[in-house]
Amino acid sequence: MGFPLQQNSHDVSNPWRADFPILGNAEKAIAFLDSAASAQKPAAVIAAMDGVMETHYANIHRGLYSFSQQSTAAYEAARHKVAQFIGAKTDNEIVFTRNTTEAINLVAASWGAAHLSKGDEILITQMEHHANIVPWHMIAEKTGAILRVAPILDDGTLDVDAFQSLLGTKTKIVAFTHISNATGVINDAGALTRMIKARSAEIKVLVDGSQSIVHKAVDVDSLGSDFFVFTGHKLYGPSGIGVLWAREDTLNAMPPYQGGGDMIDTVSFTKGITYKNAPARFEAGTPAIIEAIGLGAAIDYLGALGMKNIENHEMALYRYLREEVSAIDGLTFYGDVADKAPLLSFTASWAHVSDIATILDQCGVSVRSGHHCAMPLMERFGIDGTIRASIGLYNTKADIDQFIDALHKAYKFLG
């Protein structure tokens, strides 16, 4: 399903776009440039989820009847697909959560509550999504730990020297994003992890891969982190499903995050309660069965296309976008560096970002405006938000042209 991309050519057709029904059903041409928030879904994912409900839906891990057995097999097959997709050594390293946010909350509440105490330090960065800030703030308040924040430079990249200087004998866990959702700046997660582990092998490292998993191949073993998290809805899968990866021994040493069915081994009022090993101990209650199967279908779809093909296509479009947008006066770009994801974040001197986004929408262009759940980053830049245009595998040169034309119209109307 992949196609050879001429990276220096902007006039490239996109046979993948037809795989996304929503893009062909709109009354007018839609240039959807908000995939960093949530991606559209290919027909293969929709069909897989419909197929479960139409042919064999039932609760899993409990029933001996055929529907339950089929659904259980499909759910666990999805776990296996995720494990292979990110290079996990065993399916038991894959915990299904609702999203990245829940995965980080799980680590903070489970590992954090068990290992953090007064005076211990948690290190994050100034570019984090709120999902990788608030859970650490909450566990710090509960345990008396101290939340440290590594600053960023004017170009939006991490101040690595300051980051390294904040690593100390009291640092217990470091959590950082692989790719900034607000600017597209890439952190070298492997190099940062090696730096952290060189300071102390006992420091735990969590990498938020919500944006990176979408654009390029990820191998958790080579990253060297202790935790890796991502969400399904950005990966062309459904909402309501996310992933926490950690090594099996790390997960089994962590106390349960929630209690209820499917995570228990035994329950007795007289003999006490015992819990299953990972991943079951972190999947209390009926899980997102259909959504997990949908995520597995999304991974099958991406695997057939090839992540390198996707990366090449998206970056060719981004280079074209960046070149064309430079002709518009009064724009300030954030995270405008060479090594970044296919995401453009900017403000305009001639209008507020929300007003521009409104006009873009009237022209059939979908972008995100605001702080992108990264208010500390916006505060660092001295702004209240940006316009963010993010590219997905289904985008085309025509989408970029539609965006540029709409931006010119906004400038003419508001400038």
- 65 CB-near residues (< 8 Å, 6+ apart): 58
* Structural contact between residues 409 and 327, judged by C-beta atoms closer than 8 angstroms: no
Return the C-alpha torsion angle 158, 174, 184, 316, nearest 10. 100
- DSSP annotation of 167 reads -
Contact between 51 and 385 under an 8 Å Cβ cutoff? The reply is no
Percent helix, strand, coil in the chain, to 5, is 45, 20, 40
Q: Tell how strand 204-208 and strand 171-177 pair up.
A: parallel
Report CA-CA distances (Å) from 287 to 76, 158, 262. 12, 37, 9
Tokens of 309: 């093909």
Question: Cα(16)–Cα(28) distance, rounded to whole angstroms?
Answer: 19
Provide φ and ψ at 320, rounded to 5°: -65, -45
* Side chain identity at residue 244, one-letter code: L
Task: State the amino acid at position 249 in one-letter form.
Answer: D
In the chain, DSSP finds a helix count (H) and a strand count (E) of: 16, 15
d(CA 67, CA 58): 6
End-to-end CA distance of the chain: 44
**C-beta separation of 33 from 399 below 8 A:** yes
Sheet bearing 331-333, strands edge to edge: 331-333, 343-348, 386-390, 368-370
**Where do the DSSP E strands lie in 152-191?**
171-177
C-alpha span between 307 and 216 (Å, rounded): 6
Is there a catalytic annotation at residue 363? no
The catalytically annotated residue of 373, 375, 378, 414 is 373
- What 3-state DSSP class applies to 245? strand
- Active site residues per annotation: 373
